[in-house]
Structure 1
């Protein structure tokens, strides 16, 4: 971690309402978050409901914001696929046998391919498939069963869907937040997560993932590698958010110099001492995958899986910690 983080201060934030229509403040230019003052010696824990005396003030200023009043590809801040090859050799972001890079993480057993209007699949002409829909300031990433006549062109993937990343466009240390509804259904796997901008893996921060077969079961996880052994370690927790598929909630993660703190509706719910290897700023990824062979509670696509399913996102924002009177920047 760099010397850019020198001070950690805190401030208890007002809770964000649960519905987009009742969210007048949206993502303010300045935000405060409640941060626990316990020593950062605990490896990984749930926080529960902390006492006010164990919280301190943390002021932040906004560095990135998209409230999706226009198509996400019109402003140049998002890329609709993995932007480049990862340093991790086994990453294999393939769209299927024989396809190009960048269209899904095949190692997970995913059954969708990420498309955008310019994507041609096996062909040479764009297919015009758009998984992104904007309505009343809400972005929907829509997964659809692949039409039979396009199966071969799309490398026999069961679904088309969408991904947006800021790789190569925006990365930072600090606070990252999504306000969204978490869709459900067999094979449904929505996520908002972070990867290192240098292309390496891990580290990985999963700010929120949904287990499609378990309504209201949300997961927040940190992944890292032990240098001496190369072993991948993970620590995270499931949280029950009743009605998360029907109501908008804020899900966020704060990356401080000594710890990562996860938030639901701007209340801290878990934290972990920053593991080794968290050195490079991170970029944001939001996607709707279909099918998983490793992530429990998602399952493989079957006859009960929805024909179409939408991941509704009201906004995505990022903030930096105010460390100096002038708010020194560590955004790339």
Structure 2
């Protein structure tokens, strides 16, 4: 029976799992490994596909690969998952320990104790009134409206707080809602929710520790496409190019990225049977698909077709906020991306608003490429966030800072590279292969789709006078 506990933000006792009385190993087991009615330690095996059922009592599951699964009915003890991998707790399990660096640790609807390792983790208790323990390293603690009140036991100077769906857009607002309670600090989130920081003072907090809602009051829209239709650029009219200016008439690809697709030019006669772009109900869909043998003969033998759109010929801007609302594919080998490149044709710099691997849902990459030091350096960050369904992905580019946003909430910030003070244009594409790996024949049997609701750009008020002319695309060419 569990006896060790901590108090959460509401003063409720949350218990750790008790010491085990029985030990079980998945090595050599079948698809299922059952425990006892007592406290069990259930050890997975990285090479064994197994579901472990601890049963009654306090059970601790040690998971060593994605082949290992923990199953609990709930209401039968205090149970814990301990793993090096990124992990989201399933139903019926109270506690989670994630030891791996650059991983996420997500809870469930119960009151959880979630503990990170000595590296960096993204920690989100989800529902319930949770206790969150970073465990060392630079951790990001995520809070969303409606998910209860949580306690952080060890918030430190290199940790960050991400506030999702709350009305805080400035550090001053955050501090004004803090209260010192003895040796702890309580942050009132409104709606009956709060964060309790143990063992700290209000004066210890700094603005760079908080990832807040985008303040749009100083932005002026300069570009908007809601994709009621697709405006392709032809000569002096239209918005979107279907590739780079150096692409051939039949399209092109990016061989340096080890991409496996060919970006099709819909107006090229030889591939007229294939159009990766379609519009329905205000949504642009870019489809990556298997190429028929007849089409392959027109696209240098590439086995996949897909689409790219750029504003290289029509729109560029220095600084501002650039945003896409999209539903990304979940197919193995799909590589969607939204990014910026210099209008003068140089590379680097490059500013990646978002890119991800279809098979790695919940994980996006945000990157600034720069050669200001004399060599090409990619300052990349991995963001763990919900990517199912439609979300907005944006970057705020100022003279001094680059700040990436997901659903209007800041997720990463770095200094603006010295060579990123020039006009840049937008690119959106759905690649195949490359960093996303070998495509799944099953997943690509019916193609892979990137669905885009809109793409917008805004200038910063202090730079509005020098921004590009407002572009609104609403016609089909």
Q: TM-score, normalised by structure 2?
A: 0.51
- Hey, what's the Cα distance between the residues in 1 that align with 2:240 and 2:277? 12
- Hey, what's the Cα distance between the residues in 2 that align with 1:317 and 1:33? 23
Shift of the 33–253 alpha-carbon distance from structure 1 to 2, 3 Å rule, reads: farther
- Confirm or deny: 8 A CA contact 1:33 1:57 kept in the other structure: no
Aligned with residue 412 of structure 2, among 265, 270, 279: 270
Shift of the 137–56 alpha-carbon distance from structure 1 to 2, 3 Å rule, reads: closer
Describe how 1:216-227 pairs up with structure 2 within 5 A: 216-227=362-373
Structure 1 gaps, min length 5: 1-14, 16-31, 38-46, 85-92, 94-98
- Confirm or deny: 8 A CA contact 2:399 2:421 kept in the other structure: no
- Confirm or deny: 8 A CA contact 1:213 1:299 kept in the other structure: no
Q: Which residue of 2 aligns with 1:301?
A: 439
Mark the structure with the bigger radius of gyration: 2
Q: Which residue of 2 aligns with 1:152?
A: 297
Q: Which moved more, 1:110-119 or 1:125-134?
A: 125-134
Cα displacement (A) at 1:48 = 6.4
Is 1:311 aligned with 2:473? no
- Confirm or deny: 8 A CA contact 1:83 1:102 kept in the other structure: no
1:50-94 CA distance string (max 9 Å, x none): 479xx977510100000000124276110001124xxxxxxxx6x
- Confirm or deny: 8 A CA contact 1:143 1:162 kept in the other structure: yes
- Confirm or deny: 8 A CA contact 1:185 1:305 kept in the other structure: yes
Shift of the 36–204 alpha-carbon distance from structure 1 to 2, 3 Å rule, reads: farther
- Confirm or deny: 8 A CA contact 2:211 2:409 kept in the other structure: no
Structure 2 gaps, min length 5: 1-143, 145-166, 173-207, 470-477
Q: Which residue of 2 aligns with 1:329?
A: 466
Shift of the 35–128 alpha-carbon distance from structure 1 to 2, 3 Å rule, reads: farther
1:239-287 CA distance string (max 9 Å, x none): 2222x24x11110001101111111111111111111211321100000
Structure with more relative contact order (C-alpha pairs < 8 Å, separation 6 or more) = 1
Q: Which residue of 1 aligns with 2:313?
A: 168
Is 1:61 aligned with 2:207? no
Q: How many residue pairs align between the two structures?
A: 264
Q: Which moved more, 1:62-71 or 1:275-284?
A: 275-284
Q: Which residue of 1 aligns with 2:400?
A: 258
Q: Which residue of 2 aligns with 1:20?
A: none
- Hey, what's the Cα distance between the residues in 1 that align with 2:171 and 2:262? 41
Shift of the 301–168 alpha-carbon distance from structure 1 to 2, 3 Å rule, reads: same
- Confirm or deny: 8 A CA contact 2:332 2:359 kept in the other structure: yes
- Hey, what's the Cα distance between the residues in 2 that align with 1:313 and 1:56? 23
- Hey, what's the Cα distance between the residues in 2 that align with 1:80 and 1:328? 29
- Confirm or deny: 8 A CA contact 2:353 2:367 kept in the other structure: yes
Cα displacement (A) at 1:36 = 6.8
Q: TM-score, normalised by structure 1?
A: 0.72
Cα displacement (A) at 1:210 = 1.3
- Hey, what's the Cα distance between the residues in 1 that align with 2:271 and 2:441? 29
Is 1:116 aligned with 2:265? yes
- Confirm or deny: 8 A CA contact 2:339 2:427 kept in the other structure: yes
SS of 1:81's equivalent? coil
Between structures 1 and 2, the one with greater helix share: 2
- Hey, what's the Cα distance between the residues in 1 that align with 2:405 and 2:466? 23
Between structures 1 and 2, the one with greater strand share: 2
